[in-house]
Amino acid sequence: MWAQDVELHLIARDLLHTIQELCHKGTAPDPQTEIDNSRTLALMMRHMDRDLRFEFMNEDSVIKLWQALRERYGNVRDSILSNLEAELNDLRFSDFDTIIQFYSEALRITGMMRLCGKTITEEQLIEKTLNTFPVYAMRSCDLFWTHINARRITSFQQLIKAMEIAERKDNELVRREIDRLRDSYPERRPMARESCHRRHDLYD
């Protein structure tokens, strides 16, 4: 993520050429970019971790610094990717309290995997979501599969929106049922309240 941020900053400042040739061709940039080299080096050092800054403080060339960082951390994506794959494998919709929590976690994992060079398709996300539905919601799951097979839902985001709409409707139905039960609760009637207290008296 740090490398990606640095590249974005270099693009914004028109300094990407100071490392671009090294990344794509393995050769150093043109020698007339000494000022650009200093600007890029200062920017990278400013956004670097404090301990790393002390470790690489003697580097006077952005090419040498970038290459040293790549040699040291170039394989970090492989170790991160294996952990992310395990997290995606363990991801269960039934483990989350709300749809938004599941959606955020799924996007975090897939975004990090994309950063590591592996893309998770919309179909994989949809299948992961519906295959990990809680048992009590199987009827809703079957309904979503029907919409997917009919191509009314074609993306993960559309599925999440449909699930949110269904969640709001279910919550409204539950709220109405609670209100109905509360209105008919015996304690709302004075005589019933009195008999209720008598019935539960410890010494009755």
Q: Encode pLDDT of 83-121 as tens digits.
A: 999 999 999 999 998 899 999 999 999 998 988 888 999
Q: Are 178 and 171 in contact (CB under 8 A)?
A: no
pLDDT beneath 70: ranges in the chain: 21-33, 171-182, 184-204
Q: What pLDDT does 97 receive?
A: 87
C-alpha–C-alpha distance, residues 113 and 119, integer Å: 6
- Write down the pTM of the prediction: 0.62
Q: What pLDDT does 155 receive?
A: 92
C-alpha–C-alpha distance, residues 164 and 99, integer Å: 7
Q: Encode pLDDT of 179-193 as tens digits.
A: 666 676 655 555 544
Q: What pLDDT does 102 receive?
A: 94
C-alpha–C-alpha distance, residues 4 and 6, integer Å: 5
Residues 6 or more apart from 88 whose CB is under 8 A from it?
109, 110, 113, 120, 128
